[in-house]
Structure 1
Amino acid sequence: MQAGGTDGGSHAAATYRGLRSHRTSSALGEINVTPLVDVVLVLLLVFMVTAPMMSRGIDVSLPVANQPETEPEERITVSISAQERIFVGDRPINLQLLEDTVRGMMEGRTHKVVYLRADEGLRYGRVITVVDRLKSAGVDQIGFVYVLPEEKARR
């Protein structure tokens, strides 16, 4: 074996050919994502254009009504102070008159809702008594007014 013999040269050439073929095969193994992105963007554009048309529904010729738009009903708020005084709006009222007063306010309303503001230090029984009177007056729903902890911290 000679130092610069054919065995050493052919081995180097074979190694070079192996590297070259390895490089070309790895280049063929990569995925070109540009066409994929193009297709996805076209599909997104088509969806954005057609989506408003799909939510339109069936074409119907609606009748014209002579009814004026109804104005929103004024909120009825009943408050109970820490001293157990009852108020309808800003007006103080006696517990015995609460039922009749609220019943009169409920006449002609479509939504029989009262909002109840009660001091957090009140006895539970006092609040239940007022709720019972409101239910007897024909109130369908009672909304309890409260303050979120973040708002209370700001006060």
Structure 2
Amino acid sequence: MAGGLLGDEDQPLSEINVVPLVDVMLVLLVMFIIAAPVFAQALGVDLPRVEAPADAEPTVVTLVLHGDGRLLLDDVPVQREALAGLLEEYVGKEPRVVVRLGADASVPYQKVAELVSVVQHSGVERLAFATRNP
């Protein structure tokens, strides 16, 4: 039988020798790394060709909330109550309109969150936050 460490020749070895298993796995891994690019090139697909109109740049509307509570929509002062109606008009003209929201650093987060809610409820699906690099 297998030889023991303490000289007991009759006892079987209780550990599994994993060295041959690791060697086989490494050989399989190397073969897979070599063969993978060959398989990728062998899957040639002839895709159909179509002509699509180029996507136009979406309309960007700038909404700015100042620290003193003033609200500007494309540099025009707006009342908070009239904002939803104006944004709905923009969405009616251009469904893919993007609202770029900028707020003064001194504005409380609650005010900005309320403004985001108004923008979302007016039908605008794309909202971007204006930031400045530090």
Quick check: TM above 0.5? yes
Runs of 4+ aligned structure 1 residues displaced above 4 Å come to none
Aligned ranges 1:34-45 → 2 under 5 Å:
none
Corresponding position: 1:125 with 2:124: no
The structure whose Rg is larger is: 1
Residue 41 (structure 1) aligns with: none
Residue 95 (structure 1) aligns with: 80
Counterparts of 1:142 and 1:117, CA distance in 2: 11
Deviation at 1:103, TM superposition (A): 1.4
Report the count of equivalent residues. Answer: 96
Residue 109 (structure 1) aligns with: 95
Aligned ranges 1:5-154 → 2 under 5 Å:
58=44, 60=46, 62-65=48-51, 67-107=52-92, 108-110=94-96, 112-149=97-134
Distance 1:59 1:81, change over 3 A: same
Counterparts of 1:104 and 1:117, CA distance in 2: 20
For residues 12-68 of structure 1, give each alpha carbon's deviation from its aligned partner in whole angstroms, at most 9, with x where no partner exists: xxxxxxxxxxxxxxxxxxxxxxxxxxxxxxxxxxxxxxx9xx78x845363443x53
More helix by share: 1
Residue 20 (structure 2) aligns with: none
**Secondary structure class of the residue paired with 1:100:** helix
CA RMSD between the two structures: 2.7
Normalising by structure 2, we get a TM-score of 0.58
Does the 8 Å contact 2:63/2:102 carry over to 1? Answer: yes
Residue 35 (structure 1) aligns with: none
Deviation at 1:129, TM superposition (A): 2.1
Counterparts of 1:71 and 1:117, CA distance in 2: 24
Normalising by structure 1, we get a TM-score of 0.51
Counterparts of 2:63 and 2:89, CA distance in 1: 14
Task: Structure 1: state its 5+ residue gaps.
Answer: 1-50, 150-155
The amino acid that maps onto 1:127 is V
Counterparts of 2:128 and 2:47, CA distance in 1: 39
Q: Kindly, what percent of the aligned residue pairs are identical? A: 20
Counterparts of 1:61 and 1:128, CA distance in 2: 46
Counterparts of 1:141 and 1:81, CA distance in 2: 22
Task: Structure 2: state its 5+ residue gaps.
Answer: 1-36
Counterparts of 1:87 and 1:117, CA distance in 2: 10
